[in-house]
Amino acid sequence: MSAGCSYFGVRVPRHVRRDMTDLAARGYTGVLHTFSENDLAYYRGTMVEIVAASHAEGLLVQASPWGLGRTFGGEAESRWVAFHPEECQVLDDGRRVAAACLNSPAYRAFCREWADWALECGVDAIFWDEPAWVVPRHVGIDDPARWTCRCRHCAERFGGELPTELTPEAQTFREASVIDFLREMTAHVAARGGRSTICLLPATEGMHGLADWDAVASLPGLATLATDPYWKHWGEPAETFVRRFARLVREVAERHGVAAQLWLPSFGLSREDVPQLEAAVAAAREEGVDDLWTWGYEACRHMSALATEDAPLVWEAVSAALTRRPQQPTEAAPSRFADLDLRPTRELVRLLNEEDATVPAAVAEAHDALATAIDAIVERMRRGGRLVYVGAGTSGLIAALDAAECGPTFGSPPGEVLALVADGEAGEDDAAAARERLGRLALGPDDSVVAVSASGSTPFALGALEAAREAGALRVAVTCVRGSALAALADLEVATVVGPEVLAGSTRLKAGTAQKLVLNAISTVTMIRLGRTYGGLMIAVAPENEKLRARARRNVALASGAGEEQVAEALAAAEGDARVALVSLLARVDAAEARARLEAAGGSVRGAIGGGA
């Protein structure tokens, strides 16, 4: 059984490495990278790194000519047609359109050059994706009856000018031209020791269908025959449409001794489509196709034209269906750790340190999401809302630690920052207990519930967000996987994808470190935004022991510039409250007035002295 996924749009190797780790941890065995004309021009060396990063995770790599010449699938634009307008297709009405002619010798030479580069990058197969004559609407032509091509290259191969009507002879010629183009490409790749996959549109008739799939499957050098029955695009019912083309591609492939591959969509699907998606996967397997792929990574949530608001949920569903296992990437056991217990102590220490060193980068990738979550929390806490952490196991302990530190560090009043932790290991599965305990807090719209779960699937955390949703509170999911079930329940997702642990499933390691960093940021930045600090100093420290009292004296002195005697007097008048003492000194008012100003400013020293919140 094989499971693959397309990946496109990211050209920063460190981000790609993180995502390839995620793919492998989810159980995928292959990845398709899109190799566009822009990549050929500007990212030649980068694509080598990307392929190497994929292979490092044990993934088979296919390369797609994404949008190449506008004759293959993909949203990428074509530089080649802009530079070679004379080699573009000609419509039946004589208009030339921005798509390369499949019969153009110059374009065929360019495709061979592209294939050479992809092979040099180290890919395992070239994926000739939906080769076809141009679809009119893809080049701005509203009339679907228009067809191509009637250029000089086509006339030469046809043996004279093509008719203006799409006669049976013209349609036969069009199909023969596509097959001849593919014959040249697969032969070229094979001559260089490479393998080819051809993915045909799920159509055997009409303007863009190929009637003779056997002619394609019998091409010399072909390794795999594929198709992509995206039922919504074709306006067909999922299960029957996928079953029909799964059977066709498998039967044709078997007749010619090549492998069969089938692609299913995860883009453009909503939660209502998930049962159809799962039925489609089952139908493909029942028809004997076990090499199943999806377009694309994270249900294309990064591309607004292809995504839906349910992309995280769809991604979890398609990954579980294709890989046949629950989606818990942190639980994966990478093969490179198979001999872990045989390694010497020094090497184990080094290995753990190297793995830990990858965590800050994973957190950095979540900076924007983290900042958005903090701003939303601060907005509610300024209105008197509470910050409630929820977690189980390691996640719960980290949440409890962060909440406990807010009082002594920032002067947070009791009940402002809370942590609800599941009772023991068994409590992790008790969603009802989470709902009941959240219910006792009488949550409201000004409260924020931050659910912490490495896998994003802990029932206790899920139950908490369900209760928070019913109460209208802000819901934030802090996980170590993207698009989790927890994220689907949340308003905001902060995902730090740290990948598999050295000890499979031991989320007290990288995942725990990432969660601690995230919660550090949430509490610290929130308190800074609420004015609980001043100029980088902790001026709201609870003076509960001599060390903290000394720190309060020092910080007030540093912030105000006052002498020891003045600071001591101000603190005495403020009954040890460093913020009151500081406002008194900076604003030159007595302790009572300073306290009133602080209360009016929501506890912000800058606001109390007139310097803004």
Q: What is the pLDDT of residue 128?
A: 98
Catalytic-labelled residue, pool 405, 466, 569, 593: 405
| Tens-digit pLDDT profile for residues 185-199 | 999 999 999 999 999
Separation CA 281–CA 264 (nearest Å): 8
66, 315, 576 from 9: Cα distances, Å: 11, 17, 56
Q: Which range (52-56, 62-66, 285-289, 536-540) has the least confidence?
A: 536-540
pLDDT above 60 for 333: no
Mean per-residue pLDDT for 85-91?
97
Could you tell me which of 38, 153, 23, 162 has the C-alpha nearest to residue 92? 162
Q: What is the pLDDT of residue 326?
A: 59
pLDDT above 60 for 613: no
Q: What is the pLDDT of residue 316?
A: 84
**Mean pLDDT value across the chain:** 91
Same CATH topology for 359-529 and 546-608?
no
Separation CA 87–CA 105 (nearest Å): 9
Separation CA 175–CA 178 (nearest Å): 5
Three-state secondary structure along 375-408? Answer: HHHHHHHCCCCCEEEEECHHHHHHHHHHHHHHHH
467 with 438: CB under 8 angstroms? yes
Catalytic-labelled residue, pool 130, 416, 428, 493: 428
* pTM, to two decimals: 0.64
User: Whose structure tokens read 């306290």?
Assistant: 595
Q: Look up residue 203 and give its amino acid.
A: A
Could you tell me which of 391, 370, 385 has the C-alpha nearest to residue 463? 391
Both tokens of 552, joined, read 């309060």
Both tokens of 426, joined, read 């068994």
Opening angle at CA 312, ends 128 and 292, nearest 5: 35
Domain residue extents for the chain? 2-87+100-137+165-327, 359-529, 546-608
Mean per-residue pLDDT for 379-392?
95
Q: Choose between 284 and 482: higher pLDDT.
A: 284
Helical pair 578-587 and 591-600, crossing angle rounded to 10 deg: 100
Secondary structure tally for the chain: helices H, strands E: 25, 15
Query: Taking the CA of residue 602 as centre, how many other CA atoms within 13 Å lie in the half-sphere pointing to its CB?
Result: 16
Torsion of CA 593, 599, 602, 603, to 10 degrees: 70
* Confidence band, pLDDT 50/70/90 cuts, at residue 310: confident
Domain 2-87+100-137+165-327 listed as CATH 3.20.20.120: no
Both tokens of 295, joined, read 């377009």
201, 388, 416, 435, 490 from 468: Cα distances, Å: 45, 10, 16, 8, 9
User: Is 428 an annotated catalytic residue?
Assistant: yes
Separation CA 531–CA 322 (nearest Å): 49
383, 388, 412, 519, 533 from 604: Cα distances, Å: 14, 22, 12, 22, 8
3.40.50.1170, 1.10.8.1080, 3.40.30.10, 3.30.200.20: which CATH number matches 546-608? 1.10.8.1080
Q: Look up residue 445 and give its amino acid.
A: P
- Paired strand residues for 191: none
| DSSP structural state of residue 228 | -
Q: What is the pLDDT of residue 131?
A: 95
| DSSP structural state of residue 578 | H
399 with 390: CB under 8 angstroms? yes
Opening angle at CA 308, ends 305 and 310, nearest 5: 160
Opening angle at CA 504, ends 363 and 5, nearest 5: 65
pLDDT above 80 for 5: yes
In this structure, which long-range contacts are made by residues 156-161, counting pairs with CB atoms below 8 Å and at least 24 apart in sequence? 156/103, 157/103
* Confidence band, pLDDT 50/70/90 cuts, at residue 426: confident
Three-state secondary structure along 80-141? Answer: HHHHCHHHEEEECCCCEEEEECCCCHHHHHHHHHHHHHHHHCCCCEEEEECCCCCCHHHHCC
3-state SS, residue 227: strand
pLDDT above 70 for 611: no
439 with 466: CB under 8 angstroms? no
Helical pair 274-286 and 311-323, crossing angle rounded to 10 deg: 20
3.20.20.70, 3.40.50.300, 3.30.70.3000, 3.40.50.10490: which CATH number matches 359-529? 3.40.50.10490
Separation CA 613–CA 605 (nearest Å): 8
Q: Which residues contact 34 (CB under 8 A, 6 or more apart)?
A: 6, 7, 8, 9, 63, 64, 66, 74, 76
* Confidence band, pLDDT 50/70/90 cuts, at residue 555: confident
pLDDT above 70 for 505: no
- Asked if omega into 406 is within 30° of 0 (cis), the reply is no
- Asked if omega into 296 is within 30° of 0 (cis), the reply is yes
pLDDT above 60 for 435: yes
Mean per-residue pLDDT for 207-220?
94
pLDDT above 60 for 335: no
Mean per-residue pLDDT for 310-327?
84
* Confidence band, pLDDT 50/70/90 cuts, at residue 524: very high
Q: Look up residue 545 and give its amino acid.
A: N
- Phi (first) and psi of residue 419, to 5 degrees: -135, 125
pLDDT above 80 for 543: no
Three-state secondary structure along 11-28? Answer: CCHHHHHHHHHHHHHHCC
Opening angle at CA 105, ends 102 and 107, nearest 5: 55
* Confidence band, pLDDT 50/70/90 cuts, at residue 358: confident
Q: How many CB atoms lie within 10 A of CB 124?
A: 19
Q: What is the pLDDT of residue 330?
A: 62
User: Is 169 an annotated catalytic residue?
Assistant: no
Separation CA 198–CA 217 (nearest Å): 9
Separation CA 237–CA 112 (nearest Å): 38
Separation CA 111–CA 69 (nearest Å): 9
pLDDT above 70 for 578: yes
Q: Look up residue 527 and give its amino acid.
A: M
pLDDT above 60 for 612: no
